[in-house]
Every structure is written in structure tokens, then in C-alpha cells.
Amino acid sequence: MEDNELDLSSLIEKYEHMQALGKNIYLDADEFAMLIEYYSSEGDQEEAETLVEEGLKIHPSSAILMLAKAKMLILSTKYEEALDYLRFPSDDSDIDHSLLRVEALLHLSQFDEAEKESIKILARDLPEEDLYYFITELGYLLNDVDKFNRAIAYLEESLKINSSNAEVIVDLAYAYEMKGDMIKAIEYNDQLLDIDPYSFDAWVNIGKLYSMNDQHDKAIDAFDFALTIREDDMSAMKMKALSLYLNDNVEESVKLFRKCLSLSPNDESVYDSLLDAYAALELYDEMENIIDLKEALFGSAGIIAKRASVYISKEEFDKAKSLFIQIPEADKNTLDYYLLEGELAFYENDFVTAEYAYIKASLISEENEDILDRLANVCVAQEKYIQAANYLEELLDIAPDFPTAKSRLAFIRFEIGSKEPFDEIMQQFSDDELRLLLSMIMGNDISDYDDFNREMILTRLNEARENRILFKNIKY
């Protein structure tokens, strides 16, 4: 144990002994500051605040204790009060005083004032150690208030001074992730692994980022590394199972989710993940078993809707409808409820009700691929082709490889008949895809067009569009 740790331990022992005996506490300002920092780091804010007040009674003009009080005010989200308190005189070179002012200003959304305060410090000829400390802390503060571009600027400057600060790298990876730049976020997580190849958190983070970037093979490998470091970690196993599912390896995903379930039977999210996986495999009996287990453990909330959704998947619409009308009021106005309402209405050719239900579902789950797909279908059923095309374009923006979406949009462009949007969607098809599309539209075998080059195929497709023959040979 180092000397400073020994000093702190003996100080804590001394302080708690004085408290137990009910004696008056007489410590110097630095000792109070050490205790305040210790109890604050341990999450005992009440004890830390008591020490601040006691310390200031004995040392009312101590700058270090006044700064500690300002920190306590900020931790208590009393930003206006902290800013007012920080008017006390301070040495112009006191960086901590300026950082506290910046923190309070940022949380009060006074960003211009915070920038002025920062520039005032940066304009000085600071020693490199002070400059490094200031820009690093400033980067952290800006990240905390979602000012990611400014945070990145300061943290990357910080990294130029010290390239091995893992905390800075973590914050940079986070900032880029929040901006949606997964490539840069992955790059910084790779730097963390260069520093510590056995960092469990770094492997989990990089796996999560690969998955978010649709690089599921790499995500699975990353989670495997994490699980060699910390075997049977639930969070890593669940994320690996999800990556397996998203990578179309549903059977392996199910096996891993089942393992998660055996290790943590009270984790409700695992039951929902298994339901999704079993639905993808069309294992309806297993779905019903999981629903029964979930009801036994967590109660009946949402259960009727889950059971009805299984009947929908099995195309047993009458059974689904009989359950749907039994759904209690408390379980309505939910995503599952609106999806059921939409499916049942669509089955009964009540397209207006179905569309309205899907729109309500989309308000709960924005950018949901399946809901956009359903909205496109129900609009086509009502011959609202332009609106259907808009939904399909939104779907393709989110999921460019969504099954049949591209060809369905092409069919709608045929029906609408406008050449410019038709040409635009045609550009997204490969030659083989265009050849298949032409064979479907003309009702011929695909081999009939083996000798056609791209220009010839597009010419024939455009002729079909002009002659409006699409729906003679193909059913949407």
C-alpha cells in the first residue's frame, strides 16, 4: 500500500473514531478535502456534504473547501446556486474553478458563456500538464451534455498529448457512437484493445458496435473473446445471441438464449428474445411454452396478445380474433395490440382500419421495418401507390436488403408509370436481378433473357412500363 493510501486510511479511521466518540472534529482544510473526495467517490454524498459544511465552519476562506462545496451543489443539480456560489474570488490560474463554472453553465444550456469561459483559460500560456488536464476534463463535460462534436475536438487534442489514456479513448468511442459514426467508434475501441488486449469491457463494446454496424460475424467473434475473459457473463451472452439471430443463425441463437434462460430464469428480456427466435423458426409450440413460463413468472400482463400473435403466425385467424377481443384495457395502446389489430383487419379486408392500426404501431416503434412493410402492403391494397412507394423507400433506407422490398417498389413504379422514379429504382438492381424481374413481368422463363445485356433489359422493362402490362402478369 502506498503512503497516500496509508494516510487516507488512517485519516478515515481517525475521523470515524472521533464521530463514534461524539468529539468535535478538528482537521486542516486538506484533510477535510481528502475525506470529502473519499466519501463522494464511495457514493455517500450526505457524508461528503456534512464534511464540506463542517470544514467551512473551521476554514471559511479555504479555496479548496469552497470548490468542494461548489462540486456538491453541482452533484445535487443545483446549477444556478453553484454558479452564484462560484463568484467567490479565485486565482486567475485556478483551472478547477473555471471547470466548475463551465460545468454549471453547460447544464444550464448557457453554451456561449461556457465557450467564453473555456477560451479565457485556453488563451493563457498554460504548462502542458495544465493544458492536458483542462482540455481532457472539458471533453468529458461536453460529452455529458451531448455536445459530441466539441467533445471530440478537445478529447482528440488530449490524446495527442497522452495517447494511452484509456478513459479518453472510451469517451471518444462513446461520442462517435452517439454521432452514429460506428467506424470511428470501432477504431477507438481497437485502440483500447491495443492498450489492454484482455479488457472485457472493450471486447463487449466493440462487439456491440460491430452489431450496430451490421457486421454481425465480427460482433460474434468479439463477444466470443469477451466470454473467454468472463465466462457465462449474461450481458455478453445475450448480445452474442442477438448477433447470431441478426446474422440469420437463429438455431444457434436459440441455443444460447436457452442457456441464458437456465442461468437467469428471472430475466424477462430473454423470454421475449426467445419468442422472436422461435417465431423466425416457426416453432409455435415452443412459443406457447415460453409464453406459459413467462406468465407463471411475471404475471398476465400482455400475455393474451402474445398468445393471439402465435395464432396469427399460424394463420389461425378465428382463434386470434377470439383472444383479441379478450385483451384487457390495460394491455391496449401497446405495440402488440396495434399489430394484432392491423393483422386481423387486413385479413378481413378492412384496409382502412388496418392502416390506422399500423400507423399507431409506427408511432410507438419508429423506423420498424416490419411495420413499414405492412403499411406498404395495406396502401397497395387500397391502390394508394404513391404512399406505398414512400413507405418502401423509407424501408429501403433503413434496411436495403429487406426481402422483396426493392422489387415491390419497382412494381409500384410500373403501376404509377412515371419514368424518372422508375429509372431511379432500376439503377439499384444488378443485371441478374433485372433479368429475373423482366421474366416475372413478361411471364417468361428467366433463361429467355440470358443473352440480353443491361441496356436491352432496361429497354424491354421500360416498354412494359409504358404499356402498363405489369399487373396483367404479376400479382403484387
Does residue 84 sit in the same domain as residue 160?
Answer: yes
Domain enclosing residue 116, as ranges: 79-197
pTM, two decimals, is 0.66
pLDDT for 386: 87
> Is 288 within the bounds of a domain?
no
Alpha-carbon gap, residue 370 to 291, rounded angstroms: 22
Does residue 64 sit in the same domain as residue 85?
Answer: no
Among 26, 57, 76, give the residue marking a domain's end.
Answer: 76
The grid coordinates listed for 276 are: 422472436
∠ CA(179), CA(184), CA(188), 5° rounding? Answer: 115
Q: Do the Cβ atoms of 241 and 264 come closer than 8 Å?
A: no
For 282-418, where are the alpha helices, taking DSSP H only? 284-298, 303-313, 317-324, 335-347, 351-364, 369-381, 385-398, 405-416
The grid coordinates listed for 387 are: 404512399
> Is 301 within the bounds of a domain?
no
Does residue 172 sit in the same domain as residue 90?
Answer: yes
Measured distance between the N- and C-terminal CA atoms of the chain, rounded to whole angstroms: 74
Residue 405, Cβ neighbours under 10 Å: how many? 21
The grid coordinates listed for 369 are: 421495418
The grid coordinates listed for 69 are: 462545496
How many structural domains does the chain have? 3
pLDDT for 475: 42
pLDDT for 363: 93
Does residue 182 sit in the same domain as residue 93?
Answer: yes
Among 27, 47, 76, give the residue marking a domain's end.
Answer: 76
The tens place of each residue's pLDDT in the chain, 476 residues long, gives 344 554 778 888 877 777 777 777 678 888 888 888 888 888 888 888 888 888 888 888 888 888 888 888 888 899 999 888 888 766 655 888 899 999 999 999 999 999 998 998 898 888 999 999 999 999 999 999 999 999 999 999 999 999 989 999 999 999 999 998 999 999 999 998 999 999 899 999 999 999 988 899 999 999 999 999 999 899 999 999 999 988 889 899 999 999 999 998 999 989 988 888 888 888 889 999 999 999 999 998 889 999 999 999 888 999 999 999 999 998 898 999 999 999 999 999 999 999 999 999 999 998 899 999 999 999 988 989 889 989 998 998 888 878 778 877 877 777 665 667 777 777 777 888 778 777 777 777 777 788 888 888 888 877 776 665 444 444 43
pLDDT for 91: 63
Residue in the structure block whose three cell numbers are 488486449: 197
Alpha-carbon gap, residue 89 to 86, rounded angstroms: 8
Residue 263, Cβ neighbours under 10 Å: how many? 13
> Is 177 within the bounds of a domain?
yes
Alpha-carbon gap, residue 239 to 219, rounded angstroms: 9
pLDDT for 417: 59
> Is 412 within the bounds of a domain?
yes
Does residue 16 sit in the same domain as residue 110?
Answer: no
> Is 260 within the bounds of a domain?
no
Q: What is the CATH number of the domain that holds 169?
A: 1.25.40.10
Q: Which DSSP category does 164 fall into? A: T
Among 154, 182, 197, give the residue marking a domain's end.
Answer: 197
The grid coordinates listed for 315 are: 394463420
φ, ψ (nearest 5 deg) of residue 294:
-65, -45
Does residue 125 sit in the same domain as residue 183?
Answer: yes
The grid coordinates listed for 285 are: 409450440
Does residue 41 sit in the same domain as residue 99?
Answer: no
Does residue 148 sit in the same domain as residue 190?
Answer: yes
Does residue 166 sit in the same domain as residue 87?
Answer: yes
Does residue 86 sit in the same domain as residue 139?
Answer: yes
Does residue 65 sit in the same domain as residue 104?
Answer: no
The grid coordinates listed for 75 are: 452533484
Does residue 144 sit in the same domain as residue 156?
Answer: yes
